[in-house]
Amino acid sequence: MKKKSCYVCGKEALSKNEIGLTKKLLDLKSKKFYCLDCLAEYLEVDTEFLLAKVAEFKEQGCKEF
Amino acid sequence: MIYADNAATTRISDRAFEQMLPFLREQYGNASSQYSFGAKAKRAVEHARKQVAAAIGAELSEITFTSGGSEANSWVLRCVAETYRNESIHIITSAIEHHSVLNACRAIEQGGGVEVTFLPVDDAGRVSVEDVKAAIKHNTKLVSIMLANNEIGTIQPISQIGAFLKGRDILFHTDAVQAVGHIPVDVDDLRVDFLTASAHKFNGAKGTGILYKRSGLNLPPLVFGGKQERGLRAGTENVAGIVSAGSAIEESISKMAEEAKRLRSMIEVTVEGIKEKIPSVRVNGDTKFRLPGMVNLGFNGISGESLMHLLDLKGVCVSTSSACTSGKDEPSHVLLALGLSEQQAKSAIRISYGRYNTADEAKVIVKAVCGAYAKIIDNR
pLDDT tens-place values along chain B, 380 residues long = 999 999 999 999 999 999 999 999 999 999 999 999 999 999 999 999 999 999 999 999 999 999 999 999 999 999 999 999 889 999 999 999 999 999 999 999 999 999 999 999 999 999 999 999 999 999 999 999 999 999 999 999 999 999 999 999 999 999 999 999 999 999 999 999 999 999 999 999 999 999 999 999 999 999 999 999 999 999 999 999 999 999 999 999 999 999 999 999 999 999 999 999 999 999 999 999 999 999 999 999 999 999 999 999 999 999 997 555 545 678 999 999 999 999 999 999 999 999 999 999 999 999 999 999 999 999 88
Q: Once rounded to an integer, what is the mean pLDDT over residues A53-59?
A: 95
Calpha distance B153→B321 (Å, rounded): 13
Asked if B232 contacts B223 with a C-beta cutoff of 8 angstroms, the reply is no
Q: How many domains does chain A have?
A: 1
B200 lies in the same domain as B54:
yes
Output the domain CATH number for residue B337.
3.90.1150.10
B133 lies in the same domain as B64:
yes
Do residue A61 and residue B306 have CB atoms under 8 angstroms apart? no
Do residue A24 and residue B376 have CB atoms under 8 angstroms apart? no
B187 lies in the same domain as B215:
yes
B214 lies in the same domain as B309:
no
What pLDDT is recorded for position B330? Answer: 86
What pLDDT is recorded for position A39? Answer: 97
Angle between helices B36-56 and B239-277 (to 10 degrees): 40
What pLDDT is recorded for position A2? Answer: 74
Beta bridge partners of B115: B90
Cβ neighbours of A43 in B, within 8 Å: 310, 313, 375
What pLDDT is recorded for position B323? Answer: 52
What pLDDT is recorded for position B343? Answer: 95
Cβ neighbours of B302 in A, within 8 Å: 27
Q: Which of B222, B251, B280 is the last residue of a domain?
A: B251
Q: Which of B251, B275, B307 is the last residue of a domain?
A: B251
User: With DSSP H G I counted as helix, E B as strand and the rest as coil, what are the percentages for chain B, rounded to 5?
Assistant: 45, 15, 40
B328 is in which domain, residue-wise? 2-9+256-378
CA distance B302 to chain A (A): 7
Asked if B44 contacts B21 with a C-beta cutoff of 8 angstroms, the reply is no
**Cα distances (Å, whole numbers) of residue B223 to B41, B200, B357:** 21, 21, 38
Q: How many domains does chain B have?
A: 2
Calpha distance B248→B215 (Å, rounded): 24
Do residue B380 and residue A64 have CB atoms under 8 angstroms apart? no
Q: How confident is the model at residue A31 (pLDDT cuts 50, 70, 90)?
A: confident
B260 lies in the same domain as B231:
no
B260 lies in the same domain as B247:
no
What pLDDT is recorded for position A17? Answer: 96
Per-residue 3-state assignment (H helix, E strand, C coil) for A36-47: HHHHHHHHCCCH
- pTM here is 0.96
**Cα distances (Å, whole numbers) of residue B72 to B64, B225, B247, B318, B334:** 9, 17, 20, 26, 21
Backbone angles phi, psi at B160, to 5 degrees: -70, -40
B138 lies in the same domain as B272:
no
To the query of whether residue B324 is one of the catalytic residues in this protein, the response is yes
Do residue A53 and residue B309 have CB atoms under 8 angstroms apart? yes
A57 is in which domain, residue-wise? 1-65
SS3 A55: helix
Calpha distance B202→B38 (Å, rounded): 27
B266 lies in the same domain as B240:
no
What pLDDT is recorded for position B324? Answer: 54
Angle between helices A47-59 and B304-313 (to 10 degrees): 130
What pLDDT is recorded for position A29? Answer: 85
B236 lies in the same domain as B125:
yes
Output the domain CATH number for residue B20.
3.40.640.10
What pLDDT is recorded for position B372? Answer: 97
CA distance A31 to chain B (A): 8
Asked if B259 contacts B88 with a C-beta cutoff of 8 angstroms, the reply is no
Do residue B327 and residue A61 have CB atoms under 8 angstroms apart? yes
Beta bridge partners of B311: none
B363 lies in the same domain as B226:
no
Instruction: State the best of B300, B307, B313 to mutate against chain A, taking most chain A CBs within 10 Å.
Output: B313
Q: Which of B202, B232, B251 is the last residue of a domain?
A: B251
What pLDDT is recorded for position B84? Answer: 94
Instruction: State the best of A26, A45, A48 to mutate against chain B, taking most chain B CBs within 10 Å.
Output: A26
SS3 B214: coil
Whole-complex ipTM: 0.95
B297 lies in the same domain as B367:
yes
- Give A10-28 pLDDT, tens digit per residue: 999 999 999 999 999 999 8
B153 lies in the same domain as B223:
yes
